[in-house]
Structure 1
Amino acid sequence: MSVDLKAWIGRQEERRERLEPARTHALLAALEQPAGLADGDVMPPLFHWLHFWDPKPPSETGPDGHPARGGFLPPVALPRRMWAGGRVEFVRPLRLGEEVRKLSTIDDVQEKSGRTGALIFVTVRHELHGSGGLAVRERQDLVYREAPPRGAPAAAQPPPAEPEPADWREEQAAGPVLLFRFSALTLNSHRIHYDRPYAVEEEGYQGLVVHGPLQATLMTGLAGRKLGAPARLDYRAMTPAVDLHPISVCGRRHGEGADIWVEQHGRRTMTGTLALGAAA
C-alpha cells in the first residue's frame, strides 16, 4: 500500500540543548583554526549543525547509514538521500553555553522527475530560540532519488576548468580524516562520507563525498572573516566534491553581500549568496 507522503506536511519535533563549547573547539581544530572560545562567546555561523543530535541504535539505521525511514521525516522509498541546499537567516547571535530550543517542521513534500529518474524533495524548516528569542531561521532542502544500476561505473569527473575570478580563494584539503571528524561531530552516519567501497561501488561516486554542510560552513566562515557577520545565506549543491583532490573556497564581494562558492578542478560544487549585516 502506498504511503501519502504529503500527510507528513506540518509534522513537528522539538529538541533542547546547551551549546557546549567542546564541539565548536573540535571542528575549529579540525579546520586548523584557533579554538579559544568559551561560554558567552558568539558561536561561528552554521556551527549549530554540530548540535541537536538524534542518535539511533544500529538496528534503526538503513543500509546507507542514515536513520531508517519514517518518524519525523516521511518514509520516502527512494534509496538515495542528499542535502541539496537551503537558506539560513541569522537573526541574532547564538552564544556558546546558551540553552537553545530547536523547533523543526516539515514544510513541503514534492514529487518530480529528473534526468536520473524520480525525485522527491522534502523541505524542512528549523527555528532556533535562545535566551534572547529567535536566533536562527533555516530552510533545508532534502532530495531523494533512485539508485544507479548496481555495478554501473562511477560518474566521470568533468575536465578541469579555469578558476573563476574571485576576491578571495583559499585551498582546503578535504581528506578522509576531516570527513570522518565532520561526520562524527554532526552525527552523520551516511556511509558515502567515510566508507570508500560503499561510496564508489554502491552509490557510484569517484571517492568519499565532501559533505554539503561542511562546504557551506567553509565558504560562510571564510566570507565572514573577510567581510563581517552574515545576515542571510542561500546555498545550493551543484555537483559532488570528493576527497581525491583539494577544494577551493572562494568569494566575490558585491554591494552589501557576496557571491560565495566552492570549486574543485575549477567546477563549482556548491554556490551561495551572502547578505551582510550585523546580527541584533
Structure 2
Amino acid sequence: MSEDFSAWVGKSEELVEVLEPARSNALRAALGETDVLAAGAELPLLHHWLYFWNVQPPAGLGPDGHPAKGGFLPPVPLPRRMWAGGRLKFHAPLLLGESVTKTSTILKIEAKSGKSGNLVFVTVEHKLAGGHGLAITEEQDIVYREPAAGTVPAPVDNGELPEAGWRREVDPNTVLLFRYSALTMNGHRIHYDRPYAMGEEAYPALVVHGPLQATLLADLAVKNLGGKRLATFDFRGMSPAFDGTTLHVCGDAGEGGASLWTQQGATKNMTATVTCS
C-alpha cells in the first residue's frame, strides 16, 4: 500500500471511567455465573474490555458498524478489520466501583502482503491504572484486510471431543453474541447481522467475538490453576469461530502456567498462553 500512516504512530488518548459492577455482573450472568460481585471485589480478568465505550452518533459509524476510521485509529482504506490478538501483563488487581484511567498509544503500523492480499497491522498499547497504580499493560493487534475473495468454510462438528486437561463446552448462540456486543458497545455487524456477515464479508454464519473467546480462556485458566494469579495472558486468533457450532474452551497445565485454545470441530480458533505470578 502506498499510504503513509507514520504520523499516527505515537498518537495517544486518555479515558477515565468508573468500573460499574452491574456491567461485569451482566457478563458473568450471560456466561452462567450465579453469584453477584459487589463494589470492592476484584474485576474478573479481561472484563476491563466491557468499559471505556467508544460511542458514536450514526454519522460517526462506518458501514461495518464500527466507529468510522480516522478518529484515534488511522484511516486505513482496507474494508475489513478484526482484533487479531494481544499480550497482557497483570500488575495489580482492578476493583469494581473504582475510577480507572486508560491511556492508549499507537505503537506501530505495518503494511504486509500475504495469501489473502494486502494487510495492515496496527498495534495499540493500553495502560490501565486504578487506586493501586498501574494494573494492566496491554498490547492489542488490529488487522485491516481486503474484501473477502471467497466464502469462508463453515466448521464441521465431527462430534469428537478435543483432548485437553481442562475443557468447557459453550453454545455461542445469537443471544450470547448479542449480549456481548451490547456489553462492549461493539457495533461490528459480523456478530449480530447475519445477512451482512454472510453477504458482505462472506462468512458462513455470525462470527464469535475474539475478546469473548479470550475471556472464556482466561476464566478457564483462573478456575483450574489452584488459586494462582495470572501474570501474563497472550492470545492469537487462528480461524474465525461461528454461531451454531459448539465452541470447546480447552487448556492444559504447563510449567509456570498453561496453554489454552478454543476449537470448533477439528479447527482451532484461538490459542493462548498464560503464566502465573
TM-score for both structures, normalised by structure 1: 0.95
Aligned to 2:154: 157
Q: Report if aligned partners of 1:163, 1:266 keep a CA contact under 8 Å in 2.
A: no
Aligned to 1:208: 206
Runs of 4+ in 1 over 6 A off after TM superposition: none
Residues 137-193 of structure 1: CA deviation (Å, up to 9, x unaligned): 0000000000025xx4x2223555755421111100100000001001101000000
Aligned to 1:141: 141
Aligned to 1:67: 67
- Superposed CA RMSD in Å reads 1.3
Residues 110-133 of structure 1: CA deviation (Å, up to 9, x unaligned): 000011100000000000010111
Q: Which is worse superposed, 116-125 or 225-234?
A: 225-234
Distance in 1 separating the partners of 2:123 and 2:161: 32
Distance in 1 separating the partners of 2:255 and 2:113: 37
Distance in 1 separating the partners of 2:176 and 2:237: 19
TM-score for both structures, normalised by structure 2: 0.96
Describe the shift of the 1:57–1:48 C-alpha distance in structure 2 as closer, same or farther (beyond 3 A): same
Distance in 1 separating the partners of 2:128 and 2:188: 25
Distance in 2 separating the partners of 1:170 and 1:110: 36
SS of 1:38's partner is: coil
Q: Which amino acid aligns with 1:175?
A: N
Distance in 2 separating the partners of 1:159 and 1:264: 7
1:199 aligned onto 2:197: yes
Distance in 1 separating the partners of 2:52 and 2:155: 37
Q: Report if aligned partners of 2:39, 2:96 keep a CA contact under 8 Å in 1.
A: yes
Distance in 2 separating the partners of 1:131 and 1:273: 28
Aligned to 2:32: 32
1:124 aligned onto 2:138: no
Q: Which amino acid aligns with 1:201?
A: G
Q: Which amino acid aligns with 1:63?
A: P
Instruction: Give matches, 1:218-233, under 5 Å.
Output: 218-227=216-225, 228=227, 229-233=229-233
Shift, 1:3, TM fit: 4.5
Return 5+ residue gaps in structure 1 as ranges.
none
Q: Which amino acid aligns with 1:102?
A: K
1:94 aligned onto 2:94: yes
Q: Report if aligned partners of 1:90, 1:230 keep a CA contact under 8 Å in 2.
A: yes
Q: Which is worse superposed, 38-47 or 222-231?
A: 222-231
Distance in 1 separating the partners of 2:26 and 2:5: 38
Describe the shift of the 1:64–1:177 C-alpha distance in structure 2 as closer, same or farther (beyond 3 A): same
SS of 1:205's partner is: coil
1:11 aligned onto 2:11: yes
Q: Report if aligned partners of 2:155, 2:245 keep a CA contact under 8 Å in 1.
A: no
Distance in 1 separating the partners of 2:170 and 2:181: 17
- Number of paired residues? 273
Q: Which amino acid aligns with 1:191?
A: R
Residues 46-101 of structure 1: CA deviation (Å, up to 9, x unaligned): 00000001100011101100111101101100000000001011110000011100
Distance in 1 separating the partners of 2:26 and 2:100: 20
Aligned to 2:187: 189
Q: Which amino acid aligns with 2:55?
A: P
Q: Which amino acid aligns with 1:120?
A: V
Residues 192-229 of structure 1: CA deviation (Å, up to 9, x unaligned): 00000000111011100000000000011111011132
Q: Report if aligned partners of 2:155, 2:264 keep a CA contact under 8 Å in 1.
A: no
Distance in 1 separating the partners of 2:162 and 2:247: 14
